[in-house]
Each structure stands twice: as structure tokens, then as C-alpha cells.
Chains A and B, each alone.
Chain A
Amino acid sequence: MSKVELVCPAGAFPALRAAVDNGADAVYIGFRDATNARNFPGLNFDRETAAKAIRYAHDHHSKVLLALNTYPQPQTWSVWCDAVDQAADLGVDALILADLGLMRYARDKWPNLRLHLSVQGSATSHEAIALYRRLFGIERVILPRVLSMPQVARVIENSDVAVEVFAFGSLCVMVEGRCYLSSYVTGESPNTCGACSPASAVEWKETANGRDVNLNGVLIDRFNQDESAGYPVICKGRFKVNGKLDYAIEEPTSLSVLDILPDLIKIGVSAIKVEGRQRSPAYVAQVTKVLREALDSAQKDPLTYRPRQEWVSQLGRVAEGTTHTLGALDREWQ
């Protein structure tokens, strides 16, 4: 059985160094603009820091993958093409793409560049993956967080493309690449701008009813004094359905596959990914360290593998919300 790769996030050089130093096999980054799905103010890499990041990673035997996983529109098409060229020039180990047209451009211009299909490409079956394989020779697909374990296994059995799954971090509840909730409320979405609930649209207000958080004027949640208030992504807000107030879509929770690592290895997953390019170097260091140990342990001796209590509590401290979930991998969650 080949080694499962640990893929970790970096929003800036210190996070990249933290990932590499703590045992990431690969680090994924993005440029400082709307070409990637974590387009946050002050985050990401310009050409120079990207070059420095690639040098550092390669010197320490880690890879750098570059996410260009938003959907360019005709008015700004050339920005995305330039980003492909720049990434290829810099010598990234792979590009993570979502857009069909951009993939065509990258394949034609850089025939030897390794291409991964981003989670934003929304490929959820072997039949969809086969199209990208045939057209562009993609070598890896990152699966949207919608499939159950048997469904992931089925994709792997029926596909000659390596499969990467999310292992830890904030949980997208909707199929990635097909969620317009953010643009419906703010005008900016992951697909168009690389933004979900952009900070500029967030407004906190102390009212007689509690602490309100609005997104472009829409009340996403209301907290009382002893509640901790999370970032207002629409899918983690509290709304009323049939008169009942609840987390109608999903609670603030983190994905964690710590409990099922041996199963993921057994069905043939090629890489596991940590979410969080917007998170601190401390988060990246902590999560990378724990998952490195856990993955090594699960690969060495899958039958006796048990998540160590210290791993669970270390991950718990940096997780979103106070609970963790397997998400769609667990059929009951659906």
C-alpha cells in the first residue's frame, strides 16, 4: 500500500513553515487575489513569497500545490491565465483547478504540469472524474464533502485518478462549487470572488435582544451573553423553520476523521487534506503535528490504531465550535 499524503493549508509563509516543519507532505497555497477560494484581506502569497515558500518546502522534501480554484469570468479571464503561467514558472508541484476552461488553458500551455481537480469542481462520481481524466489527464481529485464512506470507496474502486478527502477543519455543508448562499446575500461567492461571507458584509450589533450578527443586513444569528459567537457563515446560522428556531442547516462544528483514519487508508484514499488557509500558523502547526502522528500510526498498524486522547484534545482546542463530526461520511449525518 502506498503512503497516504498529508496535505496542509498555508495562508502565509509562517503557516507554510509550520506545516513543513510539522510533517506535511504537501502544502497548498493561493495567490493574493480572487483566483483562489480563500481570498481574504491580508492573506495569501505574492510571487516573491510564493517562490520563497516553494524553496523552503522543496528544501525540506515537501511539495507545494497551488489553488486556482475559482471561476473566471470573461472580463477578468486573463488574470486567471496569468496566474496559471506564474504558478508554472514558479515550479509548483501541482495546480488545483476547478474551471473547465481554465483547465483547458493550463493543459494546452503547460503539458507537463500536474493537475488536480479542486473540490470546487464538484465531481462526486467516477463518471464525472473520468471526464476530467480523459480531457486533461488530471492526476488527483479532491472529493466534495457529500459522499458517505461506501460511496467514497466506490469512487476509488472505479477510478484511476488518485482521491484526496478532507480530514479536518471547517465543514462545508453544501456541495462545494455549487453554493451561492454567500452571493445571494452579499454579491460575493466562493465561485466568483473566492469569498464566503466576506468580512466587509459582516456587522455586529448589541441590541436589547442580544448580540446580533448581520450579513449585509440579514440577521444570521443572535447570541445571548453566555454564548460564544462564531463567524457568520450562512450555513451555520440560526433560523426559524415551522416556527422553531435552530441551526437549520448545520451547527458550528468541525470535520474530523481521526476516528476512521484506518478505514480511509484501507479503501485506498491517496491523500488527506486539512482545511484552513485562513487560520493562524499555530493552528496549522498543531493540526499538522497531530495528523502526522495519527496518520503514521494508522498506516503502521491499522488494526491496533486508536486515536490518542491527547490528539483529540489538541484538535478540540483549535476546532470551530465545540463538537466534531464525520459529516457526510457518516450516513446518519445526512
Chain B
Amino acid sequence: MRLALGPLLYFWPREEVMALYQQAASWPVDVIYLGEVVCSKRRTTRTDDYLEIAAMLADSGKQVVLSTLALVEAESELKTLKRLVGNGRFWVEANDMAAVNLLANADLPFVAGPHLNCYNGASIAMLQQLGAKRWVMPVELGEATLRAMIAAQPPAMESEVFVYGRLPLAFSARCFTARAANLPKDDCRYLCGDYPDGQLVSDQDDNPFLVFNGIQTQSASTLNLLEAIPVMAKMGVDVVRISPHARHLERIVEQFAAVLSGAQRPGEANERLRQTVPAGGFCNGYWHGEAGMDWRAPSAQEIDAQIP
């Protein structure tokens, strides 16, 4: 099983984006997804910058995949999409059917991203026919469905699971970060840049509930499926994805990598991860077929008992 760094979903300054990938070049991750998935107004790190980063990471031995925008509305966004599709070197992660159409027409291999709504074997087969080499499970699905889908998966198709990070839950035409400041999206002043891990939304009793990331809404709690790595390995999952965030990213990558390489028992690594609980706590309910926000914390012994 390989480890992936998902696309950076937040709006960070260009220098910090550059710094992240400079560091990631030497991290124990196999696959790195690059590009703006959330909002086309974020242009401080430009497509050219990402292509440069991509070349640098590929030279460091990473598989680089260029991720596309999830919500495509404007002609200018289709233009960017065409540019990514025609990059001539790297795989593309399609996060919208517009990207799938362009990729299929150009007869290019692609990753069917987590926002494509792939819920069954027939959909995987369709996507494979169109050129998909890997599909990423939608975050609201869990173990039981994944098992059935991998069983139905055609040969040569890879599967990937989002295993760590705040859950991307919804997209809208409206920018909620701008709305919170009484601004319309067209005059957003790039306020989402003030929140490197998203803007916290609490209920009326001050319990953390969601975070706004511009037009995207995420969970306030952080998905943590480290405990499920042994089960996923047994099932035949090919890639697991960590979603980049501002705090302790390197340490989290190392814990996952150590488990994947067999250098560390998952129960033990999970204990370490839990020593620094992120703001909003952990969740793993979707994996167990329950409400996504739920957190069921198995003991180290229970986790390690799953090792084949």
C-alpha cells in the first residue's frame, strides 16, 4: 500500500505552498496530488508554479498527479482544466465530470477523484472504460461498501481511500468565509487566506461543528483512519491519502509511513497520533457505517489484532 498527500485544500501564501512541497520531496510519501481544487479565484500559486513543483517532485521520485477544480462554473475554469489535461506529462485527478470528458476525449489516463460520486462497481467500470486507472472512495462511504467495491473492481484498477484530515463535506456557489464578513464572493478579499486550516463554525453552545474553507464546507473534526490500515491492507487498497494541513503534518505522515512499511505497529502509532488531538477532535464514523462525525476509538490491542 502506498501513501499519498492529497491536494492542499486551503489557501496558503505562495511561499508556504512552495515550502510545503520542498519539504514533502523528502517525506516518505509515494504520491503527491497538486493543484487548486476549491476556488478558482485563488491564484497566488499559479498553474505554472504547480507545474514547476510537479517537475521538482517527480525528480525526487514521487508520482505526481494534478488535481482539478471540484465545482466548475465559468469558461475560464474550463480553460484551466484544458491546460491541466494537456500538460503532456502527469496524470490528472478528475474531480468533476467536465474533467473526465476532456481526459476521455484526449485518451489520457486519470485518477477518478473523491468528488466524482463513484458508489458502485458499475460506476468504476464506466470510469475505467473512460481511462481511469485509480478511483478514490467518496468520503461518506465506509468499510462494508469499500470491501464490496474492491471485490467488484476490474483488474488493473487501483483504489484509494482518504484516511486523514478534515472531511470535505460540501461545495457551494456561495463563499461562506466572505459571507461571515458580510462580503459577496466577487469582493471576497481572499479572507479564506486568514485560515490555514479553515474557519471554525461552532454550534450555539460553542461546540466545534464545521469549518468553512471559502466555498467548501469541511468537518471540524479530523478523520483518522490509522486504525483501519491493517484492514485496508488485507482488503487490497492500493493508496491511502493524507489531506495536508498546517500543524504536525510531517509527524502524521511519518506515523502512517511507519505503519505502511511495517516499521511500527498500527496500535502503537495510533497511540502517538492521539497524543496531539487536533482542534475539533477525531472522527471515523463513516468507516463504521455510522454518522461521519462519530468517533469510535479502538484500543492498540484491538488494532494490532487485525494485522495479518
Chain A residues contacting B219 (CB-CB under 8 Å) are 184
Once bound together, how far apart are the Cα atoms of A74 and B123, in whole Å? 10
Q: A174-B217, A181-B170, A248-B180 are in contact. Are A191 and B201 (CB under 8 A)?
A: no
Mark contacts of A122-155 with chain B using CB atoms, 8 A cut-off: 1 yes-contact digit, 0 otherwise.
Answer: 1111011011101100000000011110010010
Once bound together, how far apart are the Cα atoms of A257 and B176, in whole Å? 23
The answer to whether B170 touches A174, judged by C-beta atoms less than 8 angstroms apart, is yes
Closest B residue by C-beta to A146: B173
The answer to whether A187 touches B290, judged by C-beta atoms less than 8 angstroms apart, is yes
B48 within 8 A of A: no
Chain A residues contacting B122 (CB-CB under 8 Å) are 77, 99-102, 104-105
Could you tell me the distance in whole angstroms from the C-beta of A135 to the nearest C-beta in chain B?
A: 8
What's the dominant secondary structure at chain B's contact region? mixed
Q: A185-B293, A187-B291, A219-B203 are in contact. Are A175 and B180 (CB under 8 A)?
A: no
The answer to whether B180 touches A241, judged by C-beta atoms less than 8 angstroms apart, is yes
Q: How many residues on chain A are close to B (CB under 8 Å)?
A: 70
The answer to whether B206 touches A240, judged by C-beta atoms less than 8 angstroms apart, is yes
Select one of B72, B98, B127 contacting A100, CB under 8 A.
B127
CB contact list, B170-210 vs A, under 8 A:
170-176, 179-180, 184-186, 199-207, 209-210
Closest A residue by C-beta to B96: A128
What's the dominant secondary structure at chain A's contact region? mixed
The answer to whether A147 touches B285, judged by C-beta atoms less than 8 angstroms apart, is no
Closest B residue by C-beta to A72: B120
The answer to whether B145 touches A191, judged by C-beta atoms less than 8 angstroms apart, is no
Once bound together, how far apart are the Cα atoms of A239 and B185, in whole Å? 20
Mark contacts of A61-73 with chain B using CB atoms, 8 A cut-off: 1 yes-contact digit, 0 otherwise.
Answer: 0000000000111
The answer to whether A146 touches B119, judged by C-beta atoms less than 8 angstroms apart, is no
Q: A74-B148, A101-B120, A178-B170 are in contact. Are A127 and B185 (CB under 8 A)?
A: no
A253 within 8 A of B: no
Q: A173-B174, A241-B200 are in contact. Are A183 and B185 (CB under 8 A)?
A: no
Chain A residues contacting B207 (CB-CB under 8 Å) are 218-219
Once bound together, how far apart are the Cα atoms of A175 and B173, in whole Å? 7
The answer to whether A218 touches B209, judged by C-beta atoms less than 8 angstroms apart, is yes
The answer to whether A218 touches B169, judged by C-beta atoms less than 8 angstroms apart, is no
Chain B residues contacting A219 (CB-CB under 8 Å) are 203-205, 207
Interface centre among B71, B72, B97 (most CB of A within 10 A): B97
B117 within 8 A of A: yes
Chain A residues contacting B97 (CB-CB under 8 Å) are 121-123, 127-128, 131-132
Once bound together, how far apart are the Cα atoms of A327 and B117, in whole Å? 24
Closest B residue by C-beta to A192: B140
Could you tell me the distance in whole angstroms from the C-beta of A255 to the nearest C-beta in chain B?
A: 13
A222 within 8 A of B: yes
The answer to whether A75 touches B148, judged by C-beta atoms less than 8 angstroms apart, is yes
Q: A175-B171, A241-B200 are in contact. Are A184 and B291 (CB under 8 A)?
A: yes
CB contact list, A266-301 vs B, under 8 A:
none
Q: A180-B292, A241-B201 are in contact. Are A187 and B148 (CB under 8 A)?
A: no
The answer to whether B203 touches A186, judged by C-beta atoms less than 8 angstroms apart, is no
B15 within 8 A of A: no
Chain A residues contacting B81 (CB-CB under 8 Å) are 127
The answer to whether B173 touches A328, judged by C-beta atoms less than 8 angstroms apart, is yes
Interface centre among B71, B125, B186 (most CB of A within 10 A): B71
The answer to whether A128 touches B176, judged by C-beta atoms less than 8 angstroms apart, is no
Once bound together, how far apart are the Cα atoms of A124 and B69, in whole Å? 12
CB contact list, B24-77 vs A, under 8 A:
70-75, 77
A4 within 8 A of B: no
Once bound together, how far apart are the Cα atoms of A145 and B185, in whole Å? 16
CB contact list, B145-186 vs A, under 8 A:
145, 148-149, 151-152, 167, 169-176, 179-180, 184-186
The answer to whether A187 touches B119, judged by C-beta atoms less than 8 angstroms apart, is no
Could you tell me the distance in whole angstroms from the C-beta of B85 to the nearest C-beta in chain A?
A: 10
The answer to whether B74 touches A151, judged by C-beta atoms less than 8 angstroms apart, is yes
B258 within 8 A of A: no
B108 within 8 A of A: no
Once bound together, how far apart are the Cα atoms of A53 and B286, in whole Å? 38
Once bound together, how far apart are the Cα atoms of A191 and B138, in whole Å? 11
Select one of A128, A131, A184 contacting B293, CB under 8 A.
A184
Select one of B71, B140, B152, B292 contacting A146, CB under 8 A.
B71
Could you tell me the distance in whole angstroms from the C-beta of A98 to the nearest C-beta in chain B?
A: 8
Interface centre among A73, A178, A238 (most CB of B within 10 A): A178
Closest B residue by C-beta to A212: B204
Could you tell me the distance in whole angstroms from the C-beta of A276 to the nearest C-beta in chain B?
A: 21
Chain A residues contacting B140 (CB-CB under 8 Å) are 180, 183-184, 189, 191-192
Closest A residue by C-beta to B294: A187
Q: A218-B209, A238-B204, A248-B176 are in contact. Are A100 and B126 (CB under 8 A)?
A: yes
Once bound together, how far apart are the Cα atoms of A219 and B206, in whole Å? 10
The answer to whether B171 touches A178, judged by C-beta atoms less than 8 angstroms apart, is yes
A205 within 8 A of B: no
Q: A101-B122, A125-B72 are in contact. Are A241 and B171 (CB under 8 A)?
A: no
Chain B residues contacting A1 (CB-CB under 8 Å) are none
Once bound together, how far apart are the Cα atoms of A216 and B293, in whole Å? 10
10 A–B pairs (Cβ distance < 8 Å), ordered by A: A127-B72, A127-B98, A181-B210, A187-B291, A192-B119, A248-B201, A250-B174, A331-B186, A333-B174, A334-B174
* Other contacts beyond A104-B125, A122-B117, A127-B101: 6, CB < 8 A: A74-B120, A128-B96, A135-B126, A180-B138, A181-B169, A219-B207
